[in-house]
Structure 1
Amino acid sequence: MIINKSIASKSIVICSLLAMSFLSCGKQVSTISEADPWKKMDLIVKSIPQTHFLDKTYNVMDFGAFADGKTSNTAAFEKAIKTCAENGGGKVLVPNGKYLTGPIHLESNVNLHLDDQAEILFSIDSKEYPLVHTSFEGTELMNHSPLIYAKNKTNVAITGKGTLNGQANNTNWWIWAGSKYYGWEKGIPSQNDPLNRIALIEMAEKGIPVEERIFGEGHYLRPNFIEFFECNTVLVKDITVINAPFWILHPIKSNNVIVDGVTVNSHGPNNDGCDPEYSQNVIIRNCTFNTGDDCIAIKSGRDADGRRVGIPSKNIIVQNCKMIDGHGGVVMGSEISAGVNHVFVENCVMDSPNLERAIRIKTNSKRGGTTEDIYVRNIEVGTVKECVLRVTMFYDVYGSQSGNFIPAIKNISLENIKVKNGGKYGILADGYAASPIENITFKDVVIEKTDSVYSLKNVKNINFISTYINGKKVESIKN
């Protein structure tokens, strides 16, 4: 082969210039993102692909479903979803009415769509939920299938203004939590029995393979409600979710997830509203959370299991949401061992005497990991019970939560935050002397009323800019 040297030389020059241009552009974007992180958020939003489905509809009634709230529709839902997927995808329609079913397993290119007055009632018989690869409190295992489950699927959705009802209460799923508040009494089996929750944690610490961590029936570890496991391009839109057994919306190891216009109203134990775990490029917007635990809790695995997986949750965006009851409005942790970074929260309203904190980061020295680059702006807070910002490296709800993996937390910014009643503290933060919490910025924050401005232990570099608490301007702390 004869190559024209002149052409080759010109090609090399052009390629070099293009490469330099690309690198320069990359540097410029990086610089812009560092100078203005909200521009980075805009880039993330634009990069997330949208779901698209064929214009075909598969009505579950055509596959033998009965809308009487009593007849089991498990087989009808399965057949409708399978047929839809085999024909290239489309919409599986759940018309108005009440439909009892066991677990629903979604397929790629399928949009499960609920009409406005449709309600799916999920069976409370745990025997109907087969073993699948899932997760419990940040530890992977083989356990009861989530009520709605998708594993290794692409282009999948749940849409429509209907209701998903887990039917959990103090006589079925919730009682498994082992709390008297949820109906448990001495002598009733629960997740707290030695061979259940603690056994799972010990297996993970010993490095036992996930496929050998077999739990399910008789172990009382409640299933997640909606779980997308290792999925890509996911949409959950407009649905209402009530009476959940456990965590409600749980994208795990998933990318490009949009949760839009969802209403969660569920006050059971561990009823977190949305828990992105080991997930990236997630948008949660226009949602209402009224929960028995954290409204939104960003996770990345528990202890040794989180370090084994090693996938940080990042590029998590929360916009235009309303938080009512809950342990925290937007929370990172406590299962956070692989780290969390680049979280953006804007234009939200948080208000309830039963909402304990607005923004919360919780970890400990069993978890480890790095949490950094958390940006919050344009938030209206009516009432919170404890504080506006809570950051701790000593989270210890179950006891004995100290180890050799001291976490790192840095770069937290709250801007244009208006608070009527901030509870006990504006900021409550405690770090390690060897790993202080670093770089907290409050800019244009007004807290009209709080018992104390802050309580700080091993916190380095707190910058207050035009911030007023209890009517007084707050000065920065540099150390």
Structure 2
Amino acid sequence: MIIDKVISLKSAVCFIAISLMILSCAKQTTVVSETDPWKRMELVIKSIPETHFINKTYNINDFGAVADGKTLNTNAFEKAIKECAANGGGKVLVPNGKYLTGPIHLESNVNLHLEDNAEILFSLNPKDYPIVHTSWEGTEVMNYSPLIYAKNKTNVAVTGKGILNGQADKTNWWIWSGGKDYGWKKGIPSQNDPQNREVLVEMAEKGTPVSERVFGEGRYLRPNFIEFFECNTVLIKDVTIINSPFWILHPLKTNNMIIDGVTVNSHGPNNDGCDPEYSQNILIRNCTFNTGDDCIAIKAGRDADGRRVAIPSKNIIVQNCKMIDGHGGVVIGSEISAGVNNVYVENCIMDSPNLDRAIRIKTNSKRGGIIEDVFVRNLEVGTVKECVLKLNMFYNVYGSQTGNFIPTIRNISLENVTVKNGGKYSVWAEGYKESPVENITLKNVKIQKVDSIYLLKNVKNINFINTYINDKKVESIKN
């Protein structure tokens, strides 16, 4: 009896010891996943749910669509989408051919699918675009509907190898920018007229309810191309997007979105390729961006409106993408007031004499915002005009941009980056005395043909680890 109790006690001790070992291992694994940013990224990717659709197809031709490139098919798209949604969802098929339409409004559980030789041409008549709740340059507004729009939808997609053609050029949407390079001349109305852009910004600063910020006709604020507003579980895959009026891919207050294999080729004003705003868990992979503005620009609201919404953009992942023309490859800002964190960029190629910067963060003391934890690795850069990495707290493009909201930029890492033609500076970083740019790390970075190693103002702790610029090893700066 005593022997049995001893054996039982030994077994219990052994069980407790093994349990503690298991818990210890589990704890170590958790610690690693919490401290290694790339393992955190993998956890985010695994957490993003994929779209799933019922195996039913609704051909827009069966709802009256005509593929002649001239007949307006807005009603046919609307009927097909509503019928699909009412029956539990499925695929709304756009067969080969050219289809002219006004805006397309998507519903939950609907996959808008373009066949390989299908092209959707979007109307150039502003009257075809109803007023909806949207956003313009980081400020919420009642304005022209985006060309493709979904609000408060779940499990929704745009797929297929066809073309989405906004038809914008210097004779229509682009002229509204007020830019002489885009067809504008003195006497032509534009977004820059005093009653337009400036009035919207003033309304936001005063706290005017969004429902009362009614723009549209006569205000010349161009519509976004594809906007998913307050959506969840979204897929955009394989389509080619050309000639956008304004921002191109715009996840707004949207979570769990995959953008995969998309080609963007649009060189108009403010033609950012992809602008995740107030959004989380966004995966952008296998895409090509050739744009008139930033290839990817992560946003978080402008000034008072961004602080009102107060939703940071986070867990934004960019993988295996190619950036050609653009103001920046991957950019954060300038509409950034709610902050951005946990950005991951890996295995990308950036190369064009018309690409200004590879990685850029832009803000100012009107925008404010906390921008932190940006991780970049395995980047192949051919040519950039200005610099490889630019971190700027004094971004100024619309006149006076100073206020009382001093931004924070910290924890920026570049690893395994090669650059053939680095432009003017390898690193250009400017902060405030009371808020320096903190903790920049360049590890295993090789930059050739750059005019100056860096331009630094109020920077704290910049680490160069095995980094060579113009074939010379660069030493870290600790202060």
**TM tier, shorter chain?**
over 0.9
2:11 paired residue number: none
The alpha-carbon deviation at position 432 of structure 1 amounts to 0.5
Gap change, CA 1:159 and 1:26, over 3 Å in 2: farther
Gap change, CA 1:274 and 1:30, over 3 Å in 2: farther
The alpha-carbon deviation at position 22 of structure 1 amounts to 13
1:205 paired residue number: 205
Considering only CA atoms, is the larger Rg found in Structure 1 or Structure 2?
2
Alignment of 1:378-393 (within 5 A): 378-393=378-393
Gap change, CA 1:191 and 1:24, over 3 Å in 2: farther
Contact 1:365/1:404, CA 8 A, preserved across alignment? yes
- Tell me the distance in 2 between the aligned counterparts of 1:474 and 1:405: 34
The alpha-carbon deviation at position 33 of structure 1 amounts to 3.7
RMSD in angstroms over aligned alpha carbons? Answer: 1.5
One-letter amino acid of the structure 2 residue matched with residue 217 of structure 1: E
- Tell me the distance in 1 between the aligned counterparts of 2:21 and 2:128: 58
2:247 paired residue number: 247
1:438 paired residue number: 438
Alignment of 1:32-51 (within 5 A): 32-51=32-51
Structure 1 position 428 matched with structure 2 position 428 = yes
Alignment of 1:5-16 (within 5 A): none
SS state at 1:451 partner: strand
Structure 1 position 462 matched with structure 2 position 462 = yes
Alignment of 1:210-249 (within 5 A): 210-249=210-249
Structure 1 position 178 matched with structure 2 position 178 = yes
Gap change, CA 1:200 and 1:29, over 3 Å in 2: farther
Alignment of 1:135-214 (within 5 A): 135-214=135-214
TM superposition score normalised by structure 2: 0.94
1:109 paired residue number: 109
- Tell me the distance in 2 between the aligned counterparts of 1:292 and 1:382: 19
The alpha-carbon deviation at position 274 of structure 1 amounts to 0.3
SS state at 1:424 partner: strand
- Tell me the distance in 1 between the aligned counterparts of 2:425 and 2:157: 41
1:342 paired residue number: 342
- Tell me the distance in 1 between the aligned counterparts of 2:477 and 2:106: 52
Alignment of 1:33-112 (within 5 A): 33-112=33-112
The alpha-carbon deviation at position 36 of structure 1 amounts to 1.1
Structure 1 position 377 matched with structure 2 position 380 = no
Gap change, CA 1:273 and 1:448, over 3 Å in 2: same
* Identical aligned residues as a percent: 79
One-letter amino acid of the structure 2 residue matched with residue 269 of structure 1: P
- Tell me the distance in 1 between the aligned counterparts of 2:113 and 2:21: 45
One-letter amino acid of the structure 2 residue matched with residue 225 of structure 1: F
Alignment of 1:251-266 (within 5 A): 251-266=251-266
The alpha-carbon deviation at position 35 of structure 1 amounts to 2.7
One-letter amino acid of the structure 2 residue matched with residue 218 of structure 1: G
1:244-263, CA deviations, whole angstroms, 9 ceiling, x for partnerless residues? Answer: 00000000000000000000
1:129 paired residue number: 129
Structure 1 position 308 matched with structure 2 position 321 = no
Gap change, CA 1:447 and 1:59, over 3 Å in 2: same
One-letter amino acid of the structure 2 residue matched with residue 135 of structure 1: S
1:322 paired residue number: 322
1:294 paired residue number: 294
Contact 1:267/1:290, CA 8 A, preserved across alignment? yes
SS state at 1:41 partner: helix
- Tell me the distance in 2 between the aligned counterparts of 1:29 and 1:124: 55
Question: Number of residue pairs matched?
Answer: 460
1:32-62, CA deviations, whole angstroms, 9 ceiling, x for partnerless residues? Answer: 2443110000000000000000000000000
1:399-446, CA deviations, whole angstroms, 9 ceiling, x for partnerless residues? Answer: 110000000000000000000000000001100111000000000000
- Tell me the distance in 2 between the aligned counterparts of 1:65 and 1:353: 43
- Tell me the distance in 2 between the aligned counterparts of 1:306 and 1:142: 16
SS state at 2:388 partner: strand
One-letter amino acid of the structure 2 residue matched with residue 403 of structure 1: G
The alpha-carbon deviation at position 24 of structure 1 amounts to 8.6
Gap change, CA 1:25 and 1:223, over 3 Å in 2: farther
1:7 paired residue number: none
- Tell me the distance in 2 between the aligned counterparts of 1:29 and 1:130: 52
The alpha-carbon deviation at position 364 of structure 1 amounts to 0.3
Structure 1 position 31 matched with structure 2 position 54 = no
One-letter amino acid of the structure 2 residue matched with residue 97 of structure 1: G
TM superposition score normalised by structure 1: 0.94
The alpha-carbon deviation at position 29 of structure 1 amounts to 6.3
The alpha-carbon deviation at position 382 of structure 1 amounts to 0.2
- Tell me the distance in 2 between the aligned counterparts of 1:180 and 1:23: 66
- Tell me the distance in 2 between the aligned counterparts of 1:365 and 1:35: 31
One-letter amino acid of the structure 1 residue matched with residue 311 of structure 2: I
Alignment of 1:278-293 (within 5 A): 278-293=278-293
SS state at 2:79 partner: helix
One-letter amino acid of the structure 1 residue matched with residue 332 of structure 2: M
One-letter amino acid of the structure 2 residue matched with residue 115 of structure 1: E
Contact 1:163/1:241, CA 8 A, preserved across alignment? yes
One-letter amino acid of the structure 2 residue matched with residue 375 of structure 1: F
- Tell me the distance in 1 between the aligned counterparts of 2:272 and 2:350: 15
One-letter amino acid of the structure 2 residue matched with residue 319 of structure 1: Q
Contact 1:32/1:40, CA 8 A, preserved across alignment? no
SS state at 1:427 partner: strand
Could you tell me which runs of 5 or more consecutive residues in structure 1 were left unpaired when the two chains were aligned: 1-19
- Tell me the distance in 2 between the aligned counterparts of 1:478 and 1:170: 50
- Tell me the distance in 1 between the aligned counterparts of 2:462 and 2:297: 24
The alpha-carbon deviation at position 290 of structure 1 amounts to 0.1
